[in-house]
Structure 1
Amino acid sequence: MSAYRPRRAWESPLYHAVAENLATFLADRQLRGRPVPFFVVRDFRAFLDCGVPAHGFLRVHCEACGRDRIVPFSCKGRGFCPSCCGRRMAETAARLIDETLPEAPVRQWVLTVPYALRFLLAYDREWIAAVHHVFLNTVFASLRRRTGLSSLGRNAKGGAVTFVQRFGDALNLNVHFHALALDGVYSETEDGALLFHPAGPPSDDEVGRVVARVARRVKGLLARRAEAGDFDAEPDSEDLLPALYG
């Protein structure tokens, strides 16, 4: 039988790197007139408290064995803490399997975008929503076409859960989308029941069509926004985000 062992967060190399350099880093950005966003500072400082009993804990008592355990509070951060992100990942996966996804095949679709558009998405969440909308609608249209249900239009329903990633393998700025899409569509029968129509794997040509249509529609969005004069000026070279491109 395994026993609970609280992690010793303060002994990790990552903890030491953040603890020893955070104050200097924040002060440097302040002096340059480019302070770090508050939510980034919040996550870093919460990480330094995460799993450290001195910053709070629960005392848990087992009535069966009579033992007590000290369980340190966690930061529950979403962006930086490896422990909390790992736990959230496991909990999210379990919830998707147990409560969200139906008994149907699922395929992962990944959309990456050109460098300039990554920068725009990093700054503008409305653009993330717009590109995501184009992406999923194009995938759903492909599914309807491959199941022979294009004539039903959006009455043939697809489904997907998307996770937006903001970094690449090298921790560089790389906003992209991972979508877990049902590999088919649902239609409604005359008696109101839902019937699933599997699409099967897409061909290379079909994937190419999806990519081309997403690119064309996103270019159209860019053109319309440029005509409306909605784009901001080029970001300052002292900004933190450009440095993350490398």
Structure 2
Amino acid sequence: MNKNTKPLKYIFENHFHQTWNNIKHKFPKNLHSSIWNNVSKFLDCGDIFRGYTAFKCTKCSHMHIVGFSCKSRFCSSCGKIYAENWALKLKDELLDVEHIHATFSLPDGFCRNFFFYNRHKLVDLAKAAYQALKYSLKKLGIHSFGAIINIHTFSRNLDWNPHIHCIFTFGGYDKNQKWKNIKTIPYQVLRKSWQKCMFVVK
């Protein structure tokens, strides 16, 4: 392995083609080209033969060359930068109130497989999470609240596991547009509401 090659890129360079031939039947055919494109972008990231920017010192004339980045979220380098910039942007947009984090998951088997073959429905899954929150908070007299919803499609061990991460205000505005703090979330109501909203998507 070249000392400048990152471990993850080395693994993809040397094992992806063979592995892909063994696992591609698990993915819908309409996704094959997208998977290939993202992997190719990742492998070409920083390759000066794909384009670069050159910086020259005006004193010693030393030339420093930086290869163009792929800007793909799949890339371990570019994706990290994307995530950091996204987090910084959200920090400026969040309301200065207490927030809480919730995860909306799906049972293994049919439910997860449905969204594997119907990726276009993932956005509706995010909407279902919001509707479940909206219904549950309304039980507490909250008619308007803030929420940031993000879709994750894989677990830490890289298994297909579509789930929703949501950061929402721990309180909100009542019907008179006055801010109302809450002490707890009606978790059983939220759970049942999520189950109902999730199945409506399908």
* TM-score between both structures, scaled by the size of structure 2: 0.81
Q: CA deviation at 1:216?
A: 3.1
Give the Cα separation in 1 of the matches to 2:60 and 2:175. 54
Range moving further from structure 2, 20-29 or 134-143: 20-29
CA deviation digits over 1:93-148, x for unaligned, max 9?
000002x22222221110001122111122223432333222212212322332x3
Q: Does 1:133 align with 2:127?
A: yes
Q: Give 2:152's match in structure 1, choosing from 146, 165, 179.
A: 165
- Assess if the C-alpha contact under 8 Å between 1:9 and 1:50 holds in 2: no
1:46 — aligned with what? 41
Partner AA of 1:171 in structure 2: L
- Assess if the C-alpha contact under 8 Å between 1:47 and 1:77 holds in 2: yes
2:52 — aligned with what? 57
Give the Cα separation in 1 of the matches to 2:10 and 2:77. 15
- Assess if the C-alpha contact under 8 Å between 2:126 and 2:150 holds in 1: no
The 1:62–1:175 alpha-carbon spacing in structure 2 relative to 1, beyond 3 Å, is farther
Unaligned runs of 5+ in 2: none
1:89 — aligned with what? 83
The 1:208–1:106 alpha-carbon spacing in structure 2 relative to 1, beyond 3 Å, is same
Q: CA deviation at 1:50?
A: 0.8
State the Cα RMSD in Å: 3.2
Give the Cα separation in 2 of the matches to 1:51 and 1:9. 15
Give the Cα separation in 2 of the matches to 1:134 and 1:127. 11
Q: CA deviation at 1:11?
A: 1.5
CA deviation digits over 1:15-45, x for unaligned, max 9?
12211233334556789xx866111000111
The 1:61–1:130 alpha-carbon spacing in structure 2 relative to 1, beyond 3 Å, is same
Give the Cα separation in 1 of the matches to 2:101 and 2:147. 9
The 1:136–1:41 alpha-carbon spacing in structure 2 relative to 1, beyond 3 Å, is same
Partner AA of 1:209 in structure 2: V
Q: Give 1:201's match in structure 2, choosing from 171, 184, 187.
A: 184
Residue aligned with 1:175, SS = strand
- Assess if the C-alpha contact under 8 Å between 1:60 and 1:70 holds in 2: yes
CA deviation digits over 1:155-180, x for unaligned, max 9?
x2122111111111211110000011
Partner AA of 1:197 in structure 2: K
2:168 — aligned with what? 181
Larger relative contact order (CA 8 Å, sep ≥ 6): 2
Give the Cα separation in 1 of the matches to 2:60 and 2:102. 49
Q: Does 1:113 align with 2:96?
A: no
Residue aligned with 2:77, SS = helix
Residue aligned with 1:37, SS = helix
2:191 — aligned with what? 211
Residue aligned with 1:71, SS = strand
1:241 — aligned with what? none
Q: Does 1:17 align with 2:11?
A: yes
Unaligned runs of 5+ in 1: 1-7, 150-155, 226-246
- Assess if the C-alpha contact under 8 Å between 1:9 and 1:52 holds in 2: no
* TM-score between both structures, scaled by the size of structure 1: 0.68
Residue aligned with 2:139, SS = helix
Q: How many aligned positions are there?
A: 198
Give the Cα separation in 1 of the matches to 2:180 and 2:51. 52
